[in-house]
Amino acid sequence: MNERGQPDRAATATAQDLIAACSSSGPWPTMAKGALQDCGAPYRVLDAEGRRLQPAPPAQVELETALALALWRHMLRLRTIDERMLAMQRQGRIGFYGATTGQEAGVFGAAAALQLRDWVHPALREGGMALWRGFSLRTWLANCFGNVEDSCTKGRQMPCHYGSRALNHVTLSSVMTTQFPQAVGTAFAMAARCTDAEDTAGDRPVCFAAIGDGATSEGDFHVAMNMAGVLRPRGKGLPLVLFCANNQWAISTPYERQTAAPTLAHRAIGYGLGAARVDGNDALAVFQVVAEAARRARAGEAPVFIEAMTYRVGAHTTSDDPSRYRDERVTEAWRTLDPIARLQRYLLGCDALDQAAVDSYARACDEEVRSTLASVEALPPVALHTLFDDVYAELPPHLLLQRQEAEAAAEALGATGAHSA
Ligand SMILES: Cc1ncc(C[n+]2csc(CCOP(=O)(O)OP(=O)(O)O)c2C)c(N)n1
Ligand SMILES: [Mg+2]
């Protein structure tokens, strides 16, 4: 946050400095090496109380504290956005919302381990990765309204379909699992296009893709995992990192119904990929594991599939009521493992934060969201005639006629734009 109340720019500047300092080609030690090719207990850096399980190497302490602070800020900011947007949906002001609540550590831990030249294919709950890269809150909210500033999808999609060409953040397809086969294709193209210098130095840009546990039962998952292992452009593994947020529910289907394998990570072994399990509520652990997977992907080793263990503490989306199909006492137990509280305890414990700073940042996030929301909600809808854009270079006669009819109808109604359903 800066004094002029422009938090996202300040947060982004911090994040971008850290991307340069911490990302996988930076000086970060690859402490997570042991977690890779290990389908055992998820890798952790912090315990449930937010205490370090192993000391950071002295040379990295300062950098790690800065990283932890940036992660905490982004996680709290997204939590604030999510809570506000859930309330907006309940008030009938937007049609739909899918929150990340409880899974923020996976989102920002992964985002911090990547570089801006890398590409991201997010699932529903990884939209926050764009915020880390500098995506504006204003556009985020405009996408939720589908209004005139919705540069992501021009009001033609459901909310939560954030995308930015400039940030290499690909718009989510609502169809689950599509991220994985799309990412295999993106990584294949990236390997073909990278420079000889990047290739020789083992420093290629990488593609990151995220899915949920339910997505691992789709055919697309198996097709993509197989291709991820088999394709070896220029004789190297694809520059690809595959991430699965195992939040233990796929709407109302529990994790137990997804696989008979001991873990999801075991599936990667069968496809010849690297496999890792990480505590998905431990942002520093996710950062380290994704950083190591990205380092390997840049160098041309086999892509790594990462299973991040977490829990969907909220509803699937605003269209869902989990109390109808699960024991919410389990959910309450998971709430005590909240990733933001855990990182906050760590930061308070090492004096990188104090309670006054926590309260003031929480207030600033709230004010930022409320004021941005007020101005974005007041924006007009997307103009009706844009429905006819972006398919044909020149509209065929029958569509031209339909466009004229639509414009006349809008004028008769005194409306200049399309209305959301
Ligand atoms: C091909 C396909 N089938 C069904 C759906 C409906 N659907 C949307 S999300 C979802 C569950 C996703 O669960 P998971 O992959 O675990 O991700 P999570 O929502 O838990 O993050 C389903 C079944 C869909 N979008 N696409
Ligand atoms: Mg799930």
Q: Say which residue, 62 or 254, is predicted with more confidence.
A: 254
Band (pLDDT 50/70/90 cuts) for residue 341 is very high
Name which residue sits closest to atom 19 of ligand 1, judged by CA: 250
In angstroms, rounded to a whole number, what is the distance separating the alpha carbons of residues 98 and 158?
A: 10
Asked whether the CA dihedral 126, 132, 164, 161 is positive or negative, the reply is positive
Name which residue sits closest to atom 18 of ligand 1, judged by CA: 212
Q: Which atom of ligand 1 is nearest to the CA of 316?
A: 19
Q: Which one, of 289, 274, 184, lies nearest residue 238 by Cα?
A: 184
Is the pLDDT reported for residue 11 higher than 70? no
pTM reported for the whole predicted model: 0.91
> In a mutational test of the pocket of ligand 1, which residue from 96, 161, 176, 253 has the highest number of ligand atoms less than 8 Å from its CB?
176
Q: Say which residue, 203 or 25, is predicted with more confidence.
A: 203
CA dihedral 270, 276, 279, 283 (to 10 degrees): -140
Distance 272 CA to ligand 2 centre (A): 24
Band (pLDDT 50/70/90 cuts) for residue 16 is low
Is the pLDDT reported for residue 35 higher than 90? no
What was the pLDDT predicted at 56? 81
C-beta separation of 290 from 30 below 8 A = no
In angstroms, rounded to a whole number, what is the distance separating the alpha carbons of residues 263 and 270?
A: 12
Band (pLDDT 50/70/90 cuts) for residue 418 is very low
Q: Which atom of ligand 1 is nearest to the CA of 212?
A: 15
Band (pLDDT 50/70/90 cuts) for residue 105 is very high
Q: Which atom of ligand 1 is nearest to the CA of 176?
A: 26
Strands (E), 93-137: 119-121
Q: Which atom of ligand 1 is nearest to the CA of 245?
A: 21
Q: Give me the mean pLDDT over the 187-205 stretch.
A: 97
In angstroms, rounded to a whole number, what is the distance separating the alpha carbons of residues 65 and 141?
A: 30
Distance 103 CA to ligand 2 centre (A): 11
What was the pLDDT predicted at 20? 53
Nearest ligand atom owner, CA of 216: 1
Show the domains of the chain with their CATH numbers: 7-377 (3.40.50.970), 384-421 (no CATH)
Among 56-60, 117-121, 309-313, name the one with the lowest average pLDDT: 56-60
Phi-psi region of 390 (alpha: psi -120 to 50; beta: other; left: phi over 0): left
Q: What are phi and psi of 379, to 5 degrees?
A: -70, 150
Q: Say which residue, 416 or 216, is predicted with more confidence.
A: 216
Show Cβ contacts of residue 237 under 8 Å, excluding neighbours closer than 6 positions. 296, 297, 300, 301, 302, 303
Distance 218 CA to ligand 2 centre (A): 13
Residue pLDDT, tens place only, 283-335? 999 999 999 999 999 999 999 999 999 999 999 999 999 999 999 999 999 99
Band (pLDDT 50/70/90 cuts) for residue 412 is confident
In angstroms, rounded to a whole number, what is the distance separating the alpha carbons of residues 351 and 293?
A: 31
- Three-point CA angle 124, 130, 131, nearest 5°: 110
Distance 174 CA to ligand 1 centre (A): 8
CA 68 vs. chain centroid, Å, equals 17
Ligand 1, CB cutoff 6 Å, lining residues: 124-125, 174-176, 211-215, 245, 247, 249-251, 312, 316
Is the pLDDT reported for residue 371 higher than 70? yes
> In a mutational test of the pocket of ligand 1, which residue from 157, 246, 251 has the highest number of ligand atoms less than 8 Å from its CB?
251
Mean pLDDT of the chain: 90
* Percentage with pLDDT > 70 across the chain: 89
